[in-house]
A and B are shown apart, each in its own frame.
Chain A
Amino acid sequence: DTGVSQNPRHKITKRGQNVTFRCDPISEHNRLYWYRQTLGQGPEFLTYFQNEAQLEKSRLLSDRFSAERPKGSFSTLEIQRTEQGDSAMYLCASSPQQGRNEKLFFGSGTQLSVL
């Protein structure tokens, strides 16, 4: 169990640029979640996958955001035409089971700063 890995740890970009983050979940974990966290707030749900299928997306999520999980392993989150309001910590989490009471294993996050 090497934990959930996220890369890069920090990303600074200019407004209008595209950025992509990667998440490697714990091996054999079926579920993968993306959350966003801003200063003073709790994690806000973005999207989640069951294996390679994207099962749910936040209704608040802009069309500029897209996520993939090819082959049900690692996942990428892309933000197109970044805006200053996209500046946040992007968290990835995974869980092994399909139950409602399973804990999430979180990565350390990717801190995005949009200038």
Chain B
Amino acid sequence: AQSVTQLGSHVSVSEGALVLLRCNYSSSVPPYLFWYVQYPNQGLQLLLKYTSAATLVKGINGFEAEFKKSETSFHLTKPSAHMSDAAEYFCAVTPASGGSYIPTFGRGTSLIVHP
């Protein structure tokens, strides 16, 4: 079964610092990969997705992620953190083949931004 691992349940950065949230997937065939963000008291919303068209994917709010097959990773980055980026971030994966279309989510990483 497909799965994703998010290293670090909490990441703390200062405003203006680089944001790096880690995601690794377990699959011999590269799946479709997604990053979602959940702000307090809101539903999850898509930040960006990887669909094999390009390894570097740009998303909303200045976030981007790079797909690295050799490392089975899809880490999320942002050059300069803003206070409004404080939220829960989830990596998700959908199999590229097979019977299931169900997205599987990681445990999430809480991003804390200090002034």
Contacts and interface: CB of A to CB of B under 8 A. Distances in A.
Contacts of B100: 56
Q: Which secondary structure characterizes the binding site on chain A? A: loop
Interface residues of A, number: 24
Interface stretch (A13-21, A61-69, A70-78, A105-113): A105-113
B51 A103 contact: no
Interface string B26-55: 000000101010000111111001010000
Interface string A6-45: 0000000000000000000000000101010000111111
Interface string A83-115: 000000001010000101101111111000000
Given A48-B102, A91-B43, A101-B49, A41 B108 contact: yes
B90 interface: yes
B105 interface: yes
B32 A101 contact: yes
Interface in B4-39: 6, 9, 32, 34, 36
A4 interface: yes
B32 A91 contact: no
Interface of A: 4, 31, 33, 35, 40-45, 48, 56, 91, 93, 98, 100-101, 103-109
30 contacts: A4-B43, A40-B107, A41-B108, A42-B105, A43-B105, A44-B105, A45-B102, A48-B101, A48-B102, A56-B100, A91-B43, A93-B43, A98-B101, A100-B32, A100-B94, A100-B96, A100-B101, A101-B32, A101-B49, A101-B51, A101-B94, A103-B34, A104-B44, A105-B43, A106-B36, A106-B43, A106-B44, A106-B45, A108-B41, A108-B43
